[in-house]
Every structure is written in C-alpha cells, then in structure tokens.
Amino acid sequence: MIFGIGVDVLEAARIQKVYARFGQHFVDRLLLPEERAQLAKTRRTERFLAMRFAAKEAIVKAMGTGFAHGMWIRDVGVVQNAWGRPEVVYSARGEKMRRKLGIGGGHITLTDEAGLIVAVAVLEAAPARKRVARKASRRRR
C-alpha cells in the first residue's frame, strides 16, 4: 500500500546560485555522508546537488512532514546503487521518524531537462505487524 507520493520541480539555476555563494558550506548542510562520497565521484557537481535537493523535497512531501515536524534536510537522502538506480536513505533521526510514521520502502526517480530538475518519490506503508493474541489467564474460583 502507498503511504505517500511527493513531487518536486526545481530550476537548476537556483541551486547553482546558492552553490556559487556558499560553496562547501552548502554541501555540508545539504548532503548525508553517503551522498558526499558520491558527490566526490561526479563531474557535474551543480547537477548532482540540484537533483539531491529536489529528491529530498519530494521525499519529505511523500512523508507528509516537509522539513519540519522532526525532519531536517540531512535526515533523508538519495544514493545510487551499483547499477545507478537511486535509492532512498535516512539518517538515524530520519529512520526513527520513518518507523514512527509507519513508512516501509521508498522509491525515487529523478530527471532533468531544459534547466529543470524533477523528482518523484513514492513511499510504501510498512507492513502491518501481526499481533500475537494473548490468552488471558482465567482463574476459576
């Protein structure tokens, strides 16, 4: 079952301006350590940052929290697996919130065209836990 869907559209130029102004400080405030490791391997830094920013926005929209209610921008992220597929990841605080909200797996897709970045996130509801019925001990008097 789907927990939530989030979409974000971003002008890449916005992130280019912020990166030009704040540089590494912006990177440190935006990215999780796993994302920073992947940034170090890319040649298109500004595109990478813009895609991650849009992805984070889409994910928190799907969560229904935005960057409030216990979620910060570094509490969610996107890393590429060995095949290049983007995967949703969480910080320790983000993981705690994910579980509290009852969110299971997450899916994200990213694209860019004509200076726009588009991110779509789909979060699954966590499977319902099976409750073990406890037999009440009955005393006969």
Question: Does the residue 137 lie in any domain?
Answer: no
Structural domain range at position 105: 2-125
Which DSSP string do the residues of 64-98 spell out, in sequence order?
A: T--S-TT--GGGEEEEE-TTS-EEEEE-HHHHHHH
pLDDT over 90 (residue 133): no
pLDDT at 45: 96
Give the residues across from 14 on adjacent strands: none
pLDDT of residue 70: 83
Q: Per-residue pLDDT tens for 43-66?
A: 999 999 999 999 999 999 999 999
Number of compact structural domains in the chain: 1
Whether 140 shows a pLDDT value over 70: the answer reads no
Name 44's bridge partners: none
Per-residue pLDDT, 130: 61
Task: Give me Rg for the CA atoms of the chain.
Answer: 19
Rounded to an integer, the average pLDDT of 116-126 is: 97
**Other CB atoms within 10 A of residue 118 CB:** 16
DSSP count for the chain of H helices, then E strands: 5, 5
Averaged pLDDT, 29-38: 97
| Beta strands at 116-125 and 2-11: parallel, antiparallel or unpaired | antiparallel
Q: Is residue 116 part of a domain?
A: yes
Establish if 61 belongs to a structural domain. yes
Which tokens go with 16?
């280019």
Q: Say if residues 112 and 46 touch (Cβ distance below 8 Å).
A: no
- Reference 74, options 41, 58, 52; nearest CA is 52
Asked whether the whole model's pTM tops 0.75, one would answer yes
Q: What is the CATH number of the domain that holds 116?
A: 3.90.470.20
Domain membership flag for residue 136: no
Is a pLDDT exceeding 80 seen at residue 141? no
